[in-house]
Amino acid sequence: MKGSMNIDAALFAKLGSYPHIVLSWVDDDGYPTQTAATFRGDEACGVVVVDPTGLAVPTDRVVNATASHIRPQPGTGYDERRYVSLSGTVSRDGDAIVLTPTRAWGWDEADVPFFEYSERSNAQAQQYMLALSEEQGREVKPRLSAAWTFILATRLPFLTATFVPVLLGILVAAYHGSFNWWLALLTIVGGAAIHIGLNVANDVFDSLSGADDANVNPTQFSGGSRVIQYGLVSLSQMQAISIAAYAVGISVGLILLVVAWSPALLAIGIAGLLLSVFYTAPPLKLVHRGLGEITTALGFGPIMVLGAYVVQTGALAWEPFVASLPVAILIALILYVNEIPDAMSDAAVGKRTLVVRWSRSTVTTMFLMSALAAFAALVGGVVTGVLPAPTLLALLALPLVFEIYRGIRAYYTSPYKLMATMGKNVQLHAVFGLLLVVGYVVAIAADRLWDSAPGVLT
Amino acid sequence: MGMMPNTVEKLLESALVAELVVLKANGEPVVHPLIPLWDGERVYMTSSVLFSKKLERIKRNPRVSFSITDPVAVGGLMARCTIQGDARIIEDDIHTSWERVLQLWRAKEPGIDFFLGKRVALPLFFERSMIEITPRRVLWWEDGDTSKPPQVRELQEVAA
């Protein structure tokens, strides 16, 4: 563990795994000096007994004793980094040197992975860059290209969560005979803008609540974008981005309302906007109350699918609602699985997500049941005749469910090992959604073929 | 004044880790394991701003030393050494200044290119300061037996 260590049996056990130790002290000329030595820990007396050294180790000053290890990996570098440092005074016992440690610290990447070690040091980095800014008379901060900063800050790759339901709504409408390119494009732009506004607002509120700062195990799928924590974008800049994105989204929504007026569209738009804003914003803070999954399911499921459908057709229908159900479940499961590594930091700031509330086995079982329910909803929709048969193509994504389930079971408490599983989970939603969309394209194409077939066939 | 002994040069060229000692404000020594990079004249180490306490300490007191002691981390060489010197922090641009020693770094850790490719995911790790150490005195043990007195060579006048 990085940081202070108790001077106890565990420390001596760790020390015992090193073949030698390096003693360091300050010479009379003011320069530090060092020598390696063999040693043994005397746990009973709480001291380290060092074999005689050719360099005289002084007994009138503080001496540091450090044992370190690294395993070379030819062609790449090294791994297995670890070290233990002790600080104390030394005395003589015959020829031997006896170090009585008063402090101990160290790091072992097997206990604290390097990424977590780095996250724990984030405050130190910010403090150093602030001091350097004063020293150099100019702002010193980490640099990233504007494009990458934008992609990170907005979490752009997650827009698949918007594209899938909006495309689905548009295609169901097309299947029903209504399709307008410009309205489709505007719907995608509006949905993406609201999604970006939500992502950025989520970072703003999680930074204000301290949830993102408390999270020392962020991954590319969880723990927020980190651009505020890393000093890449300021809190006020993030607020501005969020407001601008919402402004674009609302403006597009108003244009759609004017062009394709319907009371249903107005209701859907308002519901979507409110769910998006109050996902993390006070006073509702829905995600803090264990309502994050249901909010996400509604927003990126029925609301987006029905919204996109109503824009094209001007009316509500059952089919887009039924088609949205599996997509809703799978998008909620992205949030749900991503909350696993965040559970400790979320709990620390009172963010009572489902993963925080439930036991490990409940969380794991509920994933499997919910994912299977999504596939069952699709089959049910087809069997009852609400959805066209080609949408069953989405069943091809089923094996991913079991891969993800196994990953969650195996790596529940290892955030970095869980990353691949979280990635697969994002894939599950995207692959299922795109196959559903392809299913509709096939259904539309089949309909067209049927309509244009020679009379003998009809 | 003298040249760096051949034995020590070999250690510097092959070592994957050295135990750098810097001094705290109260004068106590603190050890930081780092990769030493030798250009034939000076030793360079780099430090991310994430782990910058050592940099603050060097700025306060530039007198440092480092040792190379682990045969496993030097390709099986048995010799050991300690080098005392004066350190200087180079950080006119923490985003790019350290790239001057990237070739030397790459030679010891080829995998660094993989991480550089993922720089966007590790933005703070690659904001780095360079520690330039001018060696003043070298102590070395040809056979690695530190129970015997080391050989000592003064490389430059010790700063007053």
B80 band by pLDDT with thresholds 50, 70 and 90: very high
CA distance A401 to A408: 11
Q: Which residues contact A398 (CB under 8 A, 6 or more apart)?
A: A375
CA distance B34 to B15: 10
Considering the domain boundaries, does residue A147 fall inside one? no
pLDDT at B160 over 70: no
What are A292-350's pLDDT values in tens digits? 999 999 999 999 999 999 999 999 999 999 999 999 999 999 999 999 988 888 888 88
Considering the domain boundaries, does residue A299 fall inside one? yes
- Residues of chain B numbered 72-101 and touching chain A (CB < 8 Å): 72-73, 75, 80, 82, 84-85, 91-92, 94-95
pLDDT at A206 over 60: yes
CATH of the domain at A13: 2.30.110.10
Considering the domain boundaries, does residue B85 fall inside one? yes
3-class secondary-structure state, position A77: strand
Determine the pLDDT at residue A68: 95
3-class secondary-structure state, position A405: helix
By Cβ distance, the residue of B124, B141, B150 closest to A118 is B124
What are A64-96's pLDDT values in tens digits? 999 999 999 888 888 899 999 999 999 998 889
Determine the pLDDT at residue A453: 65
Average pLDDT over chain B, rounded to an integer: 94
Same domain, A65 and A212: no
What are B37-46's pLDDT values in tens digits? 999 999 999 9
Could A22 and B53 be called an inter-chain contact, meaning their C-beta atoms sit closer than 8 Å? no
Strands A96-108, A47-50: pairing kind? antiparallel
B17 band by pLDDT with thresholds 50, 70 and 90: very high
Phi and psi for B110 in degrees, rounded to 5?
-55, -30
Considering the domain boundaries, does residue B1 fall inside one? no
Could A125 and B111 be called an inter-chain contact, meaning their C-beta atoms sit closer than 8 Å? no
pLDDT at A214 over 90: no
Using a CB–CB cutoff of 8 Å, tell me whether A78 touches chain B: yes
For residue A61, give how far its alpha carbon lies from the nearest alpha carbon of chain B (Å).
8
Closest CA to A329 of A287, A284, A378, A389: A378
Same domain, A46 and A117: no
Whether residue A320 has a cis bond before it, omega within 30° of 0: no
Please report residues of B whose CB lies closer than 8 A to that of A35. 67, 82, 146, 150
Determine the pLDDT at residue A5: 84
Give yes or no for a contact between A104 and A60, defined as CB atoms under 8 angstroms apart.
Answer: no
pLDDT at A428 over 50: yes
Same domain, A73 and A132: no
Domain that holds residue A19: 3-111
Considering the domain boundaries, does residue A24 fall inside one? yes
What are A227-259's pLDDT values in tens digits? 999 999 999 999 999 999 999 999 999 999 999
Torsion angle (degrees, nearest 10) of CA A28, A30, A36, A41: 80
Task: Tell me how many domains chain B contains.
Answer: 1
Residue owning tokens 């979507």: A272
Same domain, A215 and A304: yes
Considering the domain boundaries, does residue B159 fall inside one? no
For residue B9, give how far its alpha carbon lies from the nearest alpha carbon of chain A (Å).
18
- Write down the H helix ranges in A105-234: 114-120, 122-136, 146-154, 160-175, 181-209, 211-214
> How confident is the model over A207-225, as a mean pLDDT?
85
Determine the pLDDT at residue A228: 95
Closest CA to B68 of B127, B18, B124: B18
Task: Tell me how many domains chain A contains.
Answer: 3
Least confident residue range of A95-99, A356-360, B59-63, B120-124:
B120-124
Considering the domain boundaries, does residue B57 fall inside one? yes
Considering the domain boundaries, does residue A148 fall inside one? no
Determine the pLDDT at residue A455: 53
Q: Which residues contact A402 (CB under 8 A, 6 or more apart)?
A: none
Question: What are the Cα distances from residue A213, in Å, to A100, A216, A218, A313, B126?
Answer: 37, 8, 10, 45, 20
Using a CB–CB cutoff of 8 Å, tell me whether A131 touches chain B: yes
The share of chain A scoring above pLDDT 90, in percent, equals: 80
Residue owning tokens 């400790």: A344
Determine the pLDDT at residue B1: 55
Q: Which residue has the higher pLDDT, A457 or A387?
A: A387
Give yes or no for a contact between A85 and A105, defined as CB atoms under 8 angstroms apart.
Answer: yes
Phi-psi region of A210 (alpha: psi -120 to 50; beta: other; left: phi over 0): left
Same domain, A40 and A171: no
Determine the pLDDT at residue A456: 45
CA distance B160 to B115: 41
CATH of the domain at B28: 2.30.110.10
CA distance A294 to B148: 71
Q: Which residue has the higher pLDDT, A368 or B116?
A: A368
Domain that holds residue B148: 6-154
Considering the domain boundaries, does residue A346 fall inside one? yes
pLDDT at A137 over 70: yes
CA distance B64 to A96: 26
Considering the domain boundaries, does residue A456 fall inside one? no
Strands (E), A313-433: none
Task: Give the residue on B whose Cα is nearest the Cα of A88.
Answer: B28
Could B33 and A81 be called an inter-chain contact, meaning their C-beta atoms sit closer than 8 Å? yes
3-class secondary-structure state, position A9: helix
Average pLDDT over chain A, rounded to an integer: 93
Closest CA to A433 of A140, A56, A161: A161
Residue owning tokens 């080391």: B150
Using a CB–CB cutoff of 8 Å, tell me whether A132 touches chain B: yes
pLDDT at B97 over 50: yes
By Cβ distance, the residue of A87, A121, A124 closest to B28 is A87
Closest CA to A208 of A192, A224, A191: A224
CA A412 to chain CA centroid, Å, is: 14
Looking at residue A82, the DSSP 8-state letter turns out to be E
Q: Which of B11, B30, B47, B146 to mutate to test the interface with A (most CBs of A within 10 A)?
A: B146
Considering the domain boundaries, does residue A45 fall inside one? yes
Same domain, A236 and A207: yes
Please report the DSSP string for chain B in residue order: --PPPHHHHHHHHH-S-EEEEEE-TTS-EEEEEE--EE-SS-EEEEEEGGG-HHHHHHHH--EEEEEE--GGGGTT---EEEEEEEEEEE-SSTTTGGGGGHHHHHHH-TTHHHHHHTGGGSTTTT-EEEEEEEEEEEEEETT--TTSPPEEEE-SPPP-
Residue type, A109: E
Q: What angle do CA B158, A20, A59 make, to 5 degrees?
A: 55
The share of chain A scoring above pLDDT 70, in percent, equals: 98
For residue A161, give how far its alpha carbon lies from the nearest alpha carbon of chain B (Å).
22
Please report residues of B whose CB lies closer than 8 A to that of A230. 123-124
Please report residues of B whose CB lies closer than 8 A to that of A29. 158
Could A66 and B48 be called an inter-chain contact, meaning their C-beta atoms sit closer than 8 Å? no
Using a CB–CB cutoff of 8 Å, tell me whether B120 touches chain A: yes
pLDDT at B126 over 50: yes
By Cβ distance, the residue of B84, B122, B123 closest to A232 is B123
- Residues of chain A numbered 46-65 and touching chain B (CB < 8 Å): 51-55, 62-64
What is the length of chain A?
A: 458
Least confident residue range of A230-234, A287-291, B27-31:
A287-291
Same domain, A303 and A432: yes
Same domain, A194 and A274: yes
Same domain, A95 and A173: no
For residue A400, give how far its alpha carbon lies from the nearest alpha carbon of chain B (Å).
26
The share of chain B scoring above pLDDT 90, in percent, equals: 88
CA distance A84 to A18: 9
CA distance A257 to A377: 31
Could A125 and B127 be called an inter-chain contact, meaning their C-beta atoms sit closer than 8 Å? yes
Same domain, A175 and A273: yes
Please report the DSSP string for A265-301 in residue order: HHHHHHHHHHHHHTTTSTTT-GGGGT-HHHHHHHIII
Give yes or no for a contact between A300 and A165, defined as CB atoms under 8 angstroms apart.
Answer: yes
By Cβ distance, the residue of A54, A124, A128 closest to B146 is A54
CA A85 to chain CA centroid, Å, is: 33
Closest CA to B138 of B48, B38, B57, B47: B38
Same domain, A256 and A351: yes
Same domain, A22 and A138: no
CA distance B48 to B128: 4
- Residue ending a domain, among A142, A161, A194, is A142
As for the ipTM of the complex, it is: 0.95
By Cβ distance, the residue of B31, B50, B112 closest to A22 is B31
Take residue A338 and report the two structure tokens written for it.
């991503």
Q: What angle do CA A409, A411, A412 make, to 5 degrees?
A: 70
Task: Indicate the burial class of A248 (C-beta count within 10 angstroms; 0-12, 13-18, 19 or more).
Answer: middle
Residue type, A243: I
Determine the pLDDT at residue A221: 78
Considering the domain boundaries, does residue B160 fall inside one? no
Least confident residue range of B4-13, B111-120, B142-151:
B111-120
Give yes or no for a contact between A243 and A171, defined as CB atoms under 8 angstroms apart.
Answer: no
By Cβ distance, the residue of B63, B75, B141 closest to A32 is B63
